[in-house]
Chain A
Amino acid sequence: MSDWIDEILEEFEALMSPSWDATEKCLVPLVNIEDRNNEIVVMVDLPFVERKEDIDLSVTEDRLEIIARMKEGIKWERWGTCQKQLEFKTFRKSIRLPEKVDPEGAKATFRNGILKVLLPKVRKRYTIKIL
Chain B
Amino acid sequence: MSEWWTYRAEDFLLFSPRVYWRMFELHNAALWPLHLLTLAASLIIILLIAWRPRSWVRWLALILAIAWVFVGWSFLWHRYATINWAVAYVAPAFAVEGVLLLIVSLRDGLAFDRRGLAGWIGYLILAFALAGQPLLAPLQGRNWASSEVFGIAPDPTAIATLGVLLLARGRLLPVLLPIPVLWCLLSGLTLGTMGEPQAWALHATLALATAAWIWTIIRQRAVS
Q: Does A pair with B?
A: no
Query: Interface residues, chain B, CB within 8 Å of chain A?
Result: none
